[in-house]
Amino acid sequence: MPDIPTPSTPLTGQCLCGAVRITIEQPRSGIDVCHCRMCQRWGGGPFFSLHSVKQAAMAIEGAEHVTAYRSSEWAERAFCKTCGSNLYYHFIPGEHFSFMAGLFELPEDWGIDEQIFVDEQPAWAQLAADSPRKTGAEVIEEAKTAGYDFD
């Protein structure tokens, strides 16, 4: 899906210890939530992320503190090796990055735009937000339609 550029101020964020600082240029408002089993195991619950961005739209200061773990054939997940804060999910075929929402100072009116992998969402992670919901199969189908290959 193409990112639609909108004029907005950059977002800045950091990990718990501050060794890693992130700037996102022209962020799109709103939060995506992934309920897949891997995200639960990775972050202890649903993965609340910014809309994904391309490398050109982001800057990481303190990149030497970042460790990326190759979590599957098509993705890696990164964390600060000093404090352990999770930082981002990197979808390799699309070259885009989904950053942990909680790292950033976000406008108060941002809400949840979309929840995915809802078929793997446990009862204890039900969210009050009324937002579009997609199953894992629907997400994978969408990615295949966009030209990505998972086989």
One character per residue 83-122, x = contact with Zn ion (rule: CB under 5 A): x---------------------------------------
Q: Across the chain, how many H-helices and E-strands are there?
A: 2, 12
Run of H or E residues at 48: strand 47-50
Which span (5-13, 82-90, 104-112, 120-128) binds Zn ion, by CB under 5 A? 82-90
Asked if residue 46 lies in contact with residue 39, where contact means CB atoms within 8 angstroms, the answer is yes
Shortest separation between residue 53's beta carbon and Zn ion, angstroms = 17
Minimum CB separation of residue 85 from Zn ion in Å reads 5
> Which of 29, 82, 131, 135 lies at the binding interface for Zn ion (CB under 5 A)?
82
Please, are residues 88 and 98 in contact by the beta-carbon 8 Å criterion?
yes
* Dist CA 93 CA 115 (whole Å): 21
Taking every pair of C-alpha atoms in the chain, what is the biggest distance, in angstroms? 40
Q: Which of 100, 99, 126, 132 is nearest to 113 (CA)?
A: 132
Q: Does 34 bind Zn ion (CB under 5 A)?
A: yes
Q: Between 36 and 112, whose beta carbon lies closer to Zn ion? A: 36
Identify the residue among 1, 10, 17, 132 touching Zn ion (CB under 5 A): 17
Least distance CB 80 / Zn ion (angstroms): 3
Applying CB under 5 A, the residues found at the interface with Zn ion are 15, 17, 19, 34, 36, 39, 80, 82-83
